[in-house]
Amino acid sequence: MGTVNPNKAGLALGAMLGGWHLLWALLVAAGWAQAIINFYFRIHFLTPAWTVEGFQAGLAATLVFVTAALGYVFGYVLGVLWNRLHR
């Protein structure tokens, strides 16, 4: 197996996690998030336990930034570990 560029791995995971949470924030802003949560729980035979609050742009930006940053860090660390384990 080849080596992994830790920076690219971090960017890929950060973009994926940040993008996923950006999608969630857009669903909250559109007013569709509660219906999706309810559907998700019900198809797993669960009673929905959470209520989605109103959209707040600052919280949405924080959510996307934090998850993207954490995704970058985890991706970078995984890239470094991969390279060390596959020398």
Share of the chain above pLDDT 90, in %: 94
Is 50 part of any domain?
yes
> Is 74 part of any domain?
yes
Residue 2 — very low, low, confident or very high, per pLDDT cuts 50/70/90?
confident
Residue 37 lies in a domain: yes
Q: Could you list the residue range(s) of the whole structural domain that residue 33 is in? A: 6-85
| Tens digits of residue pLDDT in 49-71 | 999 999 999 999 999 999 999 99
pLDDT higher than 90, residue 1: no
Residue 14 lies in a domain: yes
Question: For residue 1, is it within any domain?
Answer: no
d(CA 43, CA 71): 28
Domain count, the chain: 1
CA distance 29 to 14: 22
